[in-house]
Structure 1
Amino acid sequence: MRAAWIDASCGVAGDMLLAALLDAGAGLPAVRAAVDAVVPGEVRLIPEQVRRAGMRATLVRVVPERRDHAHRTWRDVKALLAAAALPGPVRESAVAVFARLAQAEARVHDTDVQDVHFHEVGAWDSIADIVGVCAALHDLGATDVSAGPVAVGSGRVATAHGRLPVPVPAVAELAAGWDIFAGGEGESATPTGMALVTVLAGRCSPLPAMRLHTTGVGAGSRDTPGRPNVVRVLLGTPTAEPGTAEAVVLEANIDDLDPRAWPGVLSALLEAGASDAWLVPILMKKGRPAHTLCVLSPPGRADALRAAMFRLTSTLGVREHPARKTALERGWAHTDVLGARLPIKIGHLDGAIVQATPEFEHAARLAARHDLPVRAVLDAAVAAAHAAGLAHGAPAPPDLATDPPA
């Protein structure tokens, strides 16, 4: 697994992010091949070394190869991507970015999303930036992408629609749910750059724990005094602080699902790789009783679990936020109860037992065999565990099994 973290604290544009990924080691031939597959013979990518605020960076010039370029709608771009000979993950990522960008422009201009006809979606340079970034991430093997807060700028900027406040409406629309700040005068984040970050990065978070391999620095066209006009990408192997792990919490409020379906939904999500899944009773608008479905996911399973939530429930939307999980070291011991070996889950910290809990399913099966209440078997298991020295504060046995019981 390879992690990529995008530092957009000085702003972000599509060509800057592409330059940073190339600077981090993405293969230029792979990127050029992907762009040519979508718009053959229309553009040429030329990287060069520059300095921004006294620091080295890579700049990518996207040079047109034709004098007249077709004006394209989102419908046109989608057809180009579908017909292009692209690796599946590159095509899927590019479609997702363009779709998000088209939705934002459609909302801003109150038009049908299929007919969005703006340079942010149809221009050759935006196609090169978006397809190029998706191909570069694929070439780098980045499977866990995250990004920090984005500097969007301040003041006003001249556009085809007049002088607009910064962030411009499309950037503001795309930034919903993301952490942003001004970070200086002028426009620091473009719609293409904002779409790339918010779609391709699975979460907005501080720099995650990783063994750093390389850093890429991508430059914008301006050299702004006092502020490096760059995007950085840090690439490495994810690591975890002792006892901690990055996680994503997925949530949806649902008021129209048959209650009898919930046990199956929770079981299916756990089988699909959720670390945990649970329901919280809530009261929604008009006094409707409902539930919040919560799913704790490893970052690499968030996409699959989000899709499972849509498939298994009636929700129309899933929100998410990053989390950090701290877990006790754990293992399994056994104790004798009613002539059977009953598993005891041991959680320990710094070599001392913190939790010693009988495994419920095994206790329930044992209770059924002896026609006893489950609580009686659980009480007997706790007493037997204490008698064997498996109690709070006692030293954790050195030979705990790591695999859960069958």
Structure 2
Amino acid sequence: MRGAWIDASAGVAGDMLLGALLDAGADPAAVRRQVVALLPDEVAIDVGTVQRAGLRATRATVRSTAEDHSHRSWSGIRESIVDADLAPVVRDSALRVFGLLADAEARVHGVPAGEVHFHEVGAWDSIADVVGTCAAVADLGLSTITAGPVALGSGRVRSAHGEIPVPVPAVLELSRGWQVSGSGDGELATPTGMALLRGLAASCTTMPPMTVAATGYGAGSRDTSGRPNVVRVVVGEPVDAPAGTDMTVLETNVDDMDPRLWPGVLAALLDRGAADAWLTPILMKKGRPAHTLHVLAAPELAGPLRAFVLRATSTLGVRETPVHRHALGRTWVPVPIDGAQIRIKLGTEGERIVHVAPEFDDVAALAAERGLPARRVLEAAVAAAESAGLRPGEPVPVRSER
């Protein structure tokens, strides 16, 4: 079990993220094999060390080795990824990233996603960045990835359609639900980089507790004075939360909001780092039906989450209560299911398993991908966990060292 946290406070691009993962220990040969499987005789990946504002970083440069490259649509890329001899985990990740990118560009240009033709998806270097980054994640054995807020940049940039503002429209589409800022000059976040971050990272958060095993710095093409133009990746073993943790609960009563908006509010709170968010139906004065919104969060996140609640709901005030949470330790163990993987969440106490449950997001994603009822995938995941010896009362599996 390894996790990683991505620091994109200086921006993010596909080549920068690939360079950071290579710098953190991903095998360049393993990455090249996966890229060549999809783009045979078209590209090479050069890896070298550079300086960015005084920091050493790895620069991953995708170089053309072909006379010409065919122009590809998203539907063509999807077909190529499915048919290529890629590792299943790399194929699944690449399809997820390209799907996000195609959907964003489709919304921007007002065309069906399958008909999208544009540089960020169609270009050979972007394809290599996406597949190479997904291969590096697989080679490092990363089971969980989170990331911090992203600097998008400012100003204007030239595109195939003329001069457009920064952040470019596709980046803004991909930023929905993520913490971003317009700090920095120029285009700091590219559509490919933002799609990779959204496709690979589970949530936007500060660096989680971990025992650090490696760090990696991936360089962009420019060397900007006074600001290292790098993406940073921190790789390590997740550390279980202590038994008792100081937390904050935010609460507010709301009786005048369209109930269809609540699922989006709850999801956005979790994306912004809340440990939990839920609703309780209540009856207010004069017999008015209403809801109480509850948000459980680390104390340092109470301010930003409180500000979000005041913006995203119709409430005029928020209550705040300090609490002390006692929690089981938790960890995730992937189990194989028909060429794919499902993470099994373990609640632990000491060295023993207390609770076992498949990660339902993984179950739902695999069911949707293969057109199966979620119930069948859930049953298969439970059986796979049982076969792997993941049962209450059994010892917590020993995490293998790389």
TM-score range, shorter chain: 0.5 to 0.7
1:82 to 2:79 alignment = no
Partner residue, 1:8: 8
Question: 26-35 vs 236-245, which deviates more?
Answer: 236-245
**Residue deviations 1:254-299, cap 9 Å, x none?**
88xxxxxxxxxxxxxxxxxxx999764499xxxxx99999999xxx
For 1:236, the equivalent position in structure 2 comes to: 236
RMSD of aligned alpha carbons: 3.0
Partner Cα separation in structure 1 for residue 98 and residue 202 of structure 2: 16
Q: Distance in 2 between matches of 1:86 and 1:54?
A: 37
Task: Tell me whether 1:123 sits opposite 2:119 in the alignment.
Answer: no
Output the CA distance in 1 between the equivalents of 2:244 and 2:47.
Answer: 40
Which residue pairs with 2:212 in the alignment? 212
Structure 1 residues 88-115: Cα deviation after superposition (integer angstroms, max 9, x where no partner): 1111110000000000000000011101
1:75–1:326 distance in 2 versus 1, CA, 3 Å: farther
Instruction: Map 1:243-282 to 2 at 5 A.
Output: 243=243, 280-281=280-281
Contact 1:254 1:291 in 2 (8 A): no
Quote the residue 1:328 is aligned against: 326
Are 1:254 and 1:290, in contact at CA under 8 Å, matched by a contact in 2? no
Cα distance in structure 1, aligned partners of 2:78 and 2:294: 34
Q: Deviation per CA, 1:287-317, whole angstroms, max 9, x where unpaired?
A: xx99999999xxxxxxxxxxxxxxxxxxxxx
Q: How does 1:362-373 map to 2 (within 5 A)?
A: none
For residue 329 of structure 1, report the CA deviation from its aligned partner: 6.5
Q: Is the 8 A contact 1:9 1:183 kept in 2?
A: no
CA contact (8 A) 2:244 2:326 kept: no
- 1:65 aligns with 65
Structure 2: how far apart are the matches of 1:74 and 1:228?
A: 33
Seen in structure 2, the aligned counterparts of structure 1 residues 329 and 44 have a Cα distance that, compared at 3 Å, is closer
Residue 240 of structure 1, CA deviation: 3.4
Deviation at 1:199, TM superposition (A): 1.4
Which amino acid letter does the alignment assign opposite residue 224 of structure 1? Answer: T
* 2:227 counterpart SS class: coil
Q: Equivalent residue for 1:56?
A: 56
- The residue type equivalent to 1:158 in the other structure is R
Post-superposition shift, 1:161? 1.5
Q: Is the 8 A contact 2:242 2:327 kept in 1?
A: no
Offset at residue 124 of structure 1 (A): 0.6
Report the counterpart of residue 149 of structure 2 in structure 1. 149
- TM normalised by structure 2 equals 0.63
Q: How does 1:15-26 map to 2 (within 5 A)?
A: 15-26=15-26
**Distance in 2 between residues matched to 1:292 and 1:46, nearest whole Å:** 55
* Equivalent position SS for 2:85: coil
The count of corresponding residues between Structure 1 and Structure 2 is 275
Q: How far apart, CA to CA, are the structure 2 residues paired with 1:147 and 1:189?
A: 14
Taking a change above 3 Å as real, the CA distance of residues 244 and 18 of structure 1, as seen in their structure-2 partners, is farther
**Aligned counterparts, 1:166-185, within 5 A:** 166-185=166-185
Aligned ranges 1:334-345 → 2 under 5 Å: none
Q: Does 2:11 match 1:44? A: no
Amino acid in structure 2 at the alignment position of 1:228: P
Q: For 2:71 and 2:207, how far apart are their aligned partners in 1?
A: 39
> Helix, strand or coil: the match of 1:223?
coil
Aligned match of 2:140? 140
3-state SS of paired residue (1:99): helix
The equivalent residue for 1:221 is 221
Question: 1:126 corresponds to which letter in structure 2?
Answer: S
Shift in alpha-carbon separation, 1:277–1:19, aligned structure 2, 3 A: closer
Give the match's secondary structure for 2:86. coil
CA distance in 2, matches of 1:196, 1:106: 17
Counterparts of 2:221 and 2:278 in 1: how far apart (Å)? Answer: 49
SS for the counterpart of 1:216 is strand
Normalising by structure 1, we get a TM-score of 0.63
User: Against the structure 1 CA distance between its residues 279 and 217, is the aligned structure 2 distance closer, same or farther, given a 3 Å change threshold?
Assistant: same
Deviations 1:146-183 (A, max 9, x none): 00000000111111122111100000000011000122
Unpaired segments ≥5 residues, structure 1? 246-252, 256-274, 284-288, 297-324, 331-401
| Counterpart mapping for 1:377-392 below 5 A | none
Report the secondary structure of 1:126's partner residue: helix
SS of aligned partner of 2:11: coil
Q: Does the CA-based 8 Å contact 2:241-2:327 persist in structure 1? A: no
Counterpart of 2:304 in structure 1 is none
- In structure 2, the residue corresponding to 1:10 is in which secondary structure? coil
| Structure 1 residue 213: Cα displacement | 0.7
Q: Secondary structure at the match of 1:18?
A: helix
Aligned to 1:200: 200
Q: CA deviation at 1:38?
A: 0.9
Q: Find the counterpart in structure 1 of residue 27 from structure 2.
A: 27
Q: Match for 2:116: what amino acid?
A: V
Q: Residues of 2 paired with 1:52 and 1:209: CA distance?
A: 28
Q: 2:117 aligns to what SS in structure 1? A: coil
Q: Give 1:110's aligned residue.
A: 110
Give SS of 1:155's match: strand
For 1:80 and 1:292, the matched residues in 2 are separated by 49
CA distance in 2, matches of 1:254, 1:329: 31
C-alpha distance in structure 1 between counterparts of 2:209 and 2:35, whole Å: 33
CA contact (8 A) 2:5 2:233 kept: yes
Letter in 2 for 1:120: E
Instruction: Report the Cα offset of residue 328 of structure 1.
Output: 2.3
Residue 229 of structure 1: CA displacement? 0.4
The answer (yes or no) to whether the contact 1:254–1:292 under 8 Å persists in 2 is no
Q: Distance in 2 between matches of 1:132 and 1:226?
A: 29
CA offsets per residue over residues 333-386 of structure 1, 9 Å max, x none? xxxxxxxxxxxxxxxxxxxxxxxxxxxxxxxxxxxxxxxxxxxxxxxxxxxxxx
